[in-house]
Structure 1
Amino acid sequence: MRVLVTGGAGFIGSHYVRELVSGSYPAFAGAEVVVLDKLTYAGSETNLAPVAGKFEFVRGDICDPSVVAEQMRGVDVVVHFAAESHVDRSITGSADFVLTNVLGTQTLLQGALNAGVGRFVHVSTDEVYGSIEDGSWSENHVLEPNSPYSASKASSDLLARAFHRTHGLPVSITRCSNNYGPYQFPEKVIPVFVTNLIDGRKVPLYGDGLNVRDWLHVDDHCRGIQLVAEGGRPGEIYNIGGGTELTNRELTERLLAATGRDWSFVEPVQDRLGHDRRYSVDISKISAELGYKPQVDFEVGLADTVEWYRENRAWWEPLKERAQSAKG
């Protein structure tokens, strides 16, 4: 079996690769794994250092048809993580998001179709649904993206669906809630807050802090993706959630406690443009069909994540500098 992982040097993709080549997914034991990653600012080969030598790494752009065609040869399964994913960056400039998330996905879908790939898992986000006041989204909920990032992901989801309906490409789509865990690039809320607080720096809290997110440990997310890769039905969508909903204020309280800081380290800032109020996914479909259940207790997972950042300053310090440079 040959597995192509796009964006495998990023946060979630690298976790999937580390687990895959370490034998955590028995159904794919012995698979030949190829990682295709452009290594933009948020991707790093250091994320894959613990499993170096157990996979093939190709530096390339998913928007390049010749690169994609070459890497699709002999591939049985594609797991497509590669994406621009930071909402704030999409607000200040959306062109890269449309290029990578829409055109890049189309290029991969066409390449997979041409190569006769047997299964394609397209990794998406709950943000394509928009915002929900009460209840939880099922997979057939209308798409109402509110940021350029989520709009680009919704567009890629529709392309994936169209390639299945039009060409019969065996595509399954996953939509996850907010991820956290080790190796997350320090521009997302948990790593930013943890690293700032460790260094005695203030953290920015958007608006009134009452926006609600469902938190999903990256290990649970990747196990859900693997379940879909093994047994998901082509043409179907599967929500993957963690089952822990918190307001941003509640999350901040936990991070302050974990780092020994108080509210004097919190700096209220103007709310993000178009900031979605609440996300919540219904995971009954993937649970009933594929046996998914989140296994990482949030309190344990968060404590482990904070400790990982304490112990891995050499990993995140240069990346924070890179993030600041990329903003400039």
Structure 2
Amino acid sequence: MDVQRTVLVTGGSGFIGSHLVCSLVNSQPGWRVLNLDVLDDCCSPRSLESIEDRSNYTFIQGDVCNPRLVHHIFNTANVDVVFHLAAKTHVESSFQCPSSFRRVNVDGTRVLLRAAHQAPHRLERFIYVSTDEVYGPSADQAFDESSPMRPCNPYAATKAAAECLVRSYWDRFKFPIVITRSSNVYGPRQHTEKVIPRFLTLLQMNKKCTVQGTLPQSRHFLFVSDAVDAFLLVLERGAVGETYNVGASFEIAITQLAGELVCMVKNVPACDAKDWVEFVPERPRVELRYPIRSDKLRRLGWRTRVCWAEGIRHTVKWYQDHPHFWAPDVAEGHRGARSAVATATD
């Protein structure tokens, strides 16, 4: 096989990462795709069952914070491109255990950058996948890439800190970094800690959707395949040293989201949807919305291809067809996957 590129995806067994890995493996048979993932509770081996026997895919179970393992990968695999998605992302959990978020999101990025920069093989792109939450909330003004970062929760703070590390390698070494900041991504295989699969799971258990507080929270939602398209586009057309917002124009209030899902899952009229929504105590600070502008990415040719109606219908059907996908026993390991766990992990 003539390998045109070797691509390392960190967090490739997670929600967005697994969609990215599958897209790369299926669309680029001449590329070698490496997936480095520690397989925590938010990952499922089932996410990559369709490609685990493909000759251009290799799974490496390991921690991005492990410098011996990460340096071993870069010293032996001739990596051309890095998509760095490995991160802890749940806002509520970040308040409860901020140190674990700092370790993975900041220290893991530092380890990866150092190994990639010191590797004997010259890297073509280091793409860091960040979040719109680094901007902080806004009542009206939409953020562009020049807006200041004002994170308002520990998760967002660690992502902002990691961005600063990534940018320092560009400023100091002209290391070929690109940063993306995405709005809320949704779709099949997302873990139930996130709002859409959480609502769907509760409804499938005949429980009410729980909404934190009564303030008018809303979010912009982007279907996962559109996010993957954006990452692949910045690989080919994005300028090194630049940051690109990846956001959908569609925005919906969380209470309206709950109502729509109730109608779809429970097949009840909209006037009765409120009976399936319960308001629970909110966390100390609630961010009402994170509006961003993606004009810069659109100038590269990116457009969303999946509208909300199509994306949410597809997502609801997937969760209805896979009610036990996130059962406790599915995250025990990559059964049958081609494994390349380096001895440097010992």
TM-score, normalising length from structure 1?
Answer: 0.94
| Structure 1, 295-304 or 39-48: larger mean CA deviation | 39-48
1:94 is the counterpart of 2:94: no
1:3 — aligned with what? Answer: 7
The answer (yes or no) to whether the contact 2:37–2:86 under 8 Å persists in 1 is yes
C-alpha displacement of 1:209: 5.0
Unaligned runs of 5+ in 2: 333-346
The answer (yes or no) to whether the contact 1:187–1:320 under 8 Å persists in 2 is no
Q: Give runs of aligned pairs for residues 39-54 of structure 1, distance below 5 A.
A: 39-54=39-54
Name the structure with the higher helix share: 1
The amino acid across from 1:205 in the alignment is V
The amino acid across from 1:308 in the alignment is W
The answer (yes or no) to whether the contact 2:183–2:247 under 8 Å persists in 1 is yes
Q: Give runs of aligned pairs for residues 21-60 of structure 1, distance below 5 A.
A: 21-23=25-27, 28-54=28-54, 55-60=57-62
What is the SS of the residue equivalent to 1:226?
helix
C-alpha displacement of 1:91: 1.1
2:322 — aligned with what? Answer: 312
Question: Identity of counterpart residues, as a percentage?
Answer: 38
Q: Please point out which of 154, 158, 167 is paired with 1:161.
A: 167
The amino acid across from 1:53 in the alignment is D
What root-mean-square deviation, in Å, do the aligned CA atoms of Structure 1 and Structure 2 show? Answer: 1.5
Provide, for residues 133-192 of structure 1, a one-character-per-residue CA deviation record: whole Å limited to 9, x for no partner. Answer: 113100010000000000000000111111111111100000000011000011110001
C-alpha displacement of 1:72: 1.7
C-alpha displacement of 1:317: 3.3
C-alpha displacement of 1:29: 4.7
1:276 is the counterpart of 2:263: no
Distance in 1 of aligned mates of 2:247 and 2:29: 26
Q: Give runs of aligned pairs for residues 129-278 of structure 1, distance below 5 A.
A: 129-260=135-266, 261=268, 262-278=273-289
Q: Give runs of aligned pairs for residues 291-306 of structure 1, distance below 5 A.
A: 291-306=301-316
The amino acid across from 2:324 in the alignment is A
The answer (yes or no) to whether the contact 1:194–1:259 under 8 Å persists in 2 is yes
Distance in 2 of aligned mates of 1:202 and 1:194: 10
The answer (yes or no) to whether the contact 1:220–1:242 under 8 Å persists in 2 is no
Distance in 1 of aligned mates of 2:143 and 2:39: 33
What is the SS of the residue equivalent to 2:140?
coil
2:344 — aligned with what? Answer: none
TM-score, normalising length from structure 2?
Answer: 0.89
The amino acid across from 2:69 in the alignment is V
The amino acid across from 1:305 in the alignment is T
| Structure 1, 309-318 or 298-307: larger mean CA deviation | 309-318
2:296 — aligned with what? Answer: 285
The answer (yes or no) to whether the contact 1:244–1:298 under 8 Å persists in 2 is yes
1:325 — aligned with what? Answer: none
| Structure 1, 187-196 or 256-265: larger mean CA deviation | 256-265
1:107 is the counterpart of 2:117: no
Q: Which runs of 4+ in 1 moved over 4 A?
A: 319-322
2:18 — aligned with what? Answer: 14
Change (3 A) 1:209 1:310: farther
The amino acid across from 2:35 in the alignment is V
Distance in 2 of aligned mates of 1:169 and 1:252: 44
| Structure 1, 60-69 or 258-267: larger mean CA deviation | 258-267
What is the SS of the residue equivalent to 1:144?
coil
Distance in 2 of aligned mates of 1:222 and 1:33: 15
What is the SS of the residue equivalent to 2:178?
strand
Distance in 2 of aligned mates of 1:31 and 1:19: 11
What is the SS of the residue equivalent to 2:287?
coil
The answer (yes or no) to whether the contact 1:181–1:218 under 8 Å persists in 2 is yes
The answer (yes or no) to whether the contact 1:212–1:245 under 8 Å persists in 2 is yes
The amino acid across from 1:15 in the alignment is H
2:337 — aligned with what? Answer: none
**Count of aligned residue pairs for this structure pair:** 317
Change (3 A) 1:310 1:319: farther
Distance in 2 of aligned mates of 1:218 and 1:209: 27
The answer (yes or no) to whether the contact 1:212–1:277 under 8 Å persists in 2 is yes
The amino acid across from 1:295 in the alignment is R
Distance in 2 of aligned mates of 1:70 and 1:22: 26
Provide, for residues 42-72 of structure 1, a one-character-per-residue CA deviation record: whole Å limited to 9, x for no partner. Answer: 1222211111122100011111111111112
The answer (yes or no) to whether the contact 1:211–1:277 under 8 Å persists in 2 is yes
